[in-house]
Amino acid sequence: MLTKSLRRCLAGVFTGTIMAAAAAQPASAGTISIGHTVWVGYGPLYLAKELGYFKENGVDVELQVVDDSALAMAAQAGGKLDGTATTLDEILKYRSDKFCFKAVALFDESHGGDGMVSVKEINSLADLKGKTVALNEGSTSQFWFSYLLKKEGIPLKDVEVLNMSADAAAAAFIAGQVPVAVTWEPNLTLVKTKNAGKVLMDSAATPGVIIDVLELSCSVLKDRPADAKGFIAGLQKAVDYIKENPEKAYAIMAKGVGGYLTDPKDFADAASGVKFYDKQMTIDYFGTLQKPGPAADVIALGNEIWTDLGKIKAPVTYEEVIDPSFTQ
């Protein structure tokens, strides 16, 4: 989605952003600092903050917008942030003995907001063999695309990947420079509006695969469990508020998230491509250490895909990146 393009591009401003993150002070006791990109799924952070749900659960929250989740992860690794909001597949690339963190809550899943556009002659994934596909290498777009190919038994080497940002991929497709592109909204709608091609497949067909999580440093979970629990309780109350008062919620979240989502209507449109996760949905998705839920399948899939692509050297276990106890 355009939101995710802000998550994973704008390389020219990376240096300034990470310097700003590095200059920030670690959060004090009773405060949790979170780095996140501009993304509709992170709206509940601002809703909980505005409505006082964090404070009523005994925690203050500091939110820092970055241009790429890698920058937030770097700042967190340096002790300048307590946690990061990003996708489940993404965090697998950063977990190590020297950088301990665990996902403790869920924000949303992509449900139609991510997709693949193609020329009209391409009607199935099998038709992609020998074709050039524009996508952002190392991103969730590549993870999702690789997942689709694996499901169909199509080796990645059977397609030619052209590396570019999701927005650039969509622009190249609309210009007729590539026959296939992996991108997100509003680019998917733009392709249809311009009659430049079709949406071959979107993330509504792969529920539970592209998931946004909240991960916190292990030191926070060990030394300040009450803060972590208060944070998650406030977040989950905000999601309940969205279900009961969507229009009011969208207005508050649009103002907080800002950027191209400043207009509540644009925020509402973007929200139609995701599913916000409430407490029960989170419990079901995480499962338990004894009986992991669907999160374990995505972790296994991520390990396989990122290893094949040379992004990780060793697999990461469910226990290393998930702590479901804070939502139970």
76 and 26 assigned to the same domain? yes
Q: Can you give the CATH number for the domain in which 183 is found?
A: 3.40.190.10
Residue 67 near residue 4, CB atoms below 8 Å: no
97 and 216 assigned to the same domain? yes
Q: Please give the Cα distance from 169 to 136 (Å, whole number).
A: 8
| Count of structural domains, the chain | 2
243 and 172 assigned to the same domain? no
Domain boundary among 143, 178, 205: 205
Domain boundary among 205, 239, 254: 205
Chain centroid offset of residue 71 CA: 14
12 and 84 assigned to the same domain? yes
pLDDT for the residue 67 = 78
38 and 170 assigned to the same domain? no
pLDDT for the residue 16 = 42
- Domain with 161, as residue range(s), is 114-205
Of 312, 252, 298, 276, nearest to 105 by C-alpha is 276
pLDDT for the residue 261 = 83
Helix (H, G, I), strand (E, B) or coil at 200: strand
Q: Please give the Cα distance from 60 to 16 (Å, whole number).
A: 26
Residue 299 near residue 316, CB atoms below 8 Å: yes
Residue by residue, pLDDT tens for the chain (328 residues) are 433 443 333 333 333 444 344 444 444 558 999 999 888 999 999 999 999 999 999 999 999 998 788 899 999 999 999 999 999 999 999 999 999 999 999 999 999 989 999 999 999 999 999 999 999 998 899 999 999 999 999 998 999 999 998 889 999 999 999 999 999 887 898 999 999 999 999 999 999 999 999 999 999 999 999 999 999 999 999 999 999 999 999 999 999 998 878 899 989 988 999 999 999 999 999 999 999 999 999 999 999 999 999 999 889 999 999 999 999 8
The 211-217 sheet, strands edge to edge:
60-65, 31-36, 83-87, 211-217, 101-110, 274-276
Q: Please give the Cα distance from 328 to 326 (Å, whole number).
A: 6
230 and 303 assigned to the same domain? yes
| Ordered DSSP codes for 36-87 | E-S-GGGHHHHHHHHTTHHHHTT-EEEEEE-SBHHHHHHHHHTTS-SEEEEE
Instruction: Compute CA distances 38 → 2, 53, 144, whole Å.
Output: 9, 21, 20
Phi and psi torsions of 182, nearest 5°: -105, 125
88 and 121 assigned to the same domain? no
pLDDT for the residue 240 = 98
Strand partners for 179: none
